Structure 1
């Protein structure tokens, strides 16, 4: 059976590839697995049919025969663990790549999302500027640590892995903030990820959804 994933019918990022289905699309493209995408409106995401797939009413979900998964990290880990190309064969290197996946989601992404949400939702609050400065400091701390660890390497731990895939998608959330540009090695790291043919195919596929939606409006 063909894998089916879910994605926004009209993504809030206007085709920027920052919605979390992008991680799953990219992973599937890296391992060469064909997939279909079921597009959902925000209303449909909260309906019982979708909540049976994702109890929190979000995207993406992943269906492959009887297997149903939610949470982008869990989905990418499943894809990487069952297909060659995203995790090393060596057991220790494999464990380190998985650790980088968790680091991207649990350590680097939370302050980036907090900063993003403050910019979107709190602009009219009297404490906005002070809070934004605090959040920028937290993001900068994580970027500095990551930059030091990456150094002049192309990828986080040898060859490209699911850890890099996840980290690049997290760092892309800083697009337009100006924060990543202060770390030239991280900026180049993201650019290397975006230059991968699998990323380009995944990005084009999700951008086409936005373009189609724009024509329909």
Structure 2
């Protein structure tokens, strides 16, 4: 979202990443949440190909994105940032204690139970595609991922959203499932494919995606 005046929210993001990563960098999770609640924000852009300096590591100890600052708190890790934003706006996280903790559990499940299995496939397919060991290990990784996806599909059932209404848990889970966009794995789970599509069709997601990809387009490296 472009700055309307002088937004007090600032997030870190990359100026540019290769095509396979565009739309996938995790600042999109925070952009999406902010778009859902109509909060303006500004970005601090980093060069993804250069080491982060000591000053940035005071903000994000691991040198990753996103990092977040609203003048009151400075945070890192997308899950923590989403929980912080959810605490401020019921459109992202219910006030009801039971519903709130259910949504929190699903957000953590996306990060701990689902994303690691999908990230392994991404690693094999994109970063180690030319390695024989990766090709040999991939079938077992896909089998584990499919088992997790089946459990997720069973839990989702016929609901539109994980807890019945849209929350930060869905922002996290939809963005996690997008890790498989280079494969046809999700096609084997029609409920999850439809769930991901519902998330991506939300106007707030579309605005977040546009903001991220326009930044990349504006900083496309010049060919020598």
TM-score bracket for the superposition, by shorter chain length: over 0.9
Tell me, yes or no, if structure 1 residue 36 matches structure 2 residue 42: yes
Q: In the alignment, what sits opposite 1:135?
A: 141
- Structure 1 residue aligned with 2:97, among 91, 95, 116? 91
State the alpha-carbon separation in 2 of the partners of residues 89 and 52 from structure 1: 32
Q: In the alignment, what sits opposite 1:21?
A: 27
- Structure 2 residue aligned with 1:79, among 79, 85, 106? 85
1:174-213 to structure 2, matched below 5 A, reads 174-213=180-219
Q: In the alignment, what sits opposite 1:163?
A: 169
Q: Quick check: 2:23–2:213 contact (8 Å CA) kept in 1?
A: yes
Q: Deviation above 3 Å: which 4+ runs of structure 1?
A: 12-16
State the alpha-carbon separation in 1 of the partners of residues 20 and 126 from structure 2: 15
Q: In the alignment, what sits opposite 1:112?
A: 118
Q: Quick check: 2:16–2:217 contact (8 Å CA) kept in 1?
A: no
1:43-62 to structure 2, matched below 5 A, reads 45-62=51-68
**Unaligned stretches of 5+ in structure 2?**
1-6
Q: If the length of structure 2 is used for normalisation, what is the TM-score?
A: 0.91
State the alpha-carbon separation in 1 of the partners of residues 57 and 145 from structure 2: 32
How many angstroms does 1:122 deviate by? 2.2
Tell me, yes or no, if structure 1 residue 8 matches structure 2 residue 8: no
How many angstroms does 1:15 deviate by? 6.4
Q: If the length of structure 1 is used for normalisation, what is the TM-score?
A: 0.94
How many angstroms does 1:44 deviate by? 5.3
Q: Quick check: 1:22–1:202 contact (8 Å CA) kept in 2?
A: yes
**Unaligned stretches of 5+ in structure 1?**
none
Q: Quick check: 2:124–2:135 contact (8 Å CA) kept in 1?
A: no
How many angstroms does 1:176 deviate by? 1.6
RMSD: 1.6
Q: Quick check: 1:15–1:207 contact (8 Å CA) kept in 2?
A: no
* Secondary structure of 1:11's aligned partner: coil
How many pairs were matched up? 217
Aligned in 2, Cα 1:215/1:34: closer, same or farther, shift over 3 Å? Answer: same
Aligned in 2, Cα 1:101/1:87: closer, same or farther, shift over 3 Å? Answer: same
